[in-house]
């Protein structure tokens, strides 16, 4: 199964747990207390972005390696220039 994901405006009550910026890429780990949903959001300077829903046991690993998890989960990044 393949999926193309885009980012919606942050959900009300979403809390940033961690954030990092490197080489024009922002990666954010967020938690929404309503429902307990964890997400990792990746956005670059060109405006391309994706978001991955994560389980608590994998949250930090996905935060540090989001592109590897996106590839495994068949997330297609649109308009990304290599």
User: How many whole angstroms separate alpha carbon 27 and alpha carbon 33?
Assistant: 20
Q: What is the pLDDT of residues 18-77, one digit of tens each?
A: 999 999 999 999 999 988 999 999 999 998 899 999 999 999 999 999 999 998 887 765
| CATH number corresponding to 15-72 | 3.10.450
* Pairing, β 15-22 against β 37-44: unpaired
Per the CB < 8 A criterion, the answer to whether 19 and 30 are in contact is: no
With cut-offs at 50, 70 and 90, classify the pLDDT of residue 1: very low
Residue 58: its pLDDT value, please? 95
Q: Where are the domains of the chain?
A: 15-72
Please count the other Cβ atoms lying within 10 Å of the Cβ belonging to residue 50.
23
Q: What are phi and psi of 76, to 5 degrees?
A: -95, 125
């Amino acid at each position: 199964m393949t999926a193309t994901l885009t980012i919606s405006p942050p959900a009300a009550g979403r809390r940033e747990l961690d954030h990092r910026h490197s080489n024009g890429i922002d990666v954010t780990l967020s938690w929404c207390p309503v429902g307990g949903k964890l997400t990792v959001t990746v956005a670059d300077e060109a405006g391309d972005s994706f978001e991955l829903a994560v389980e608590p046991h994998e949250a930090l690993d996905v935060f540090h390696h989001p592109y590897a998890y996106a590839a495994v989960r068949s997330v297609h990044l649109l308009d990304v220039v290599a």
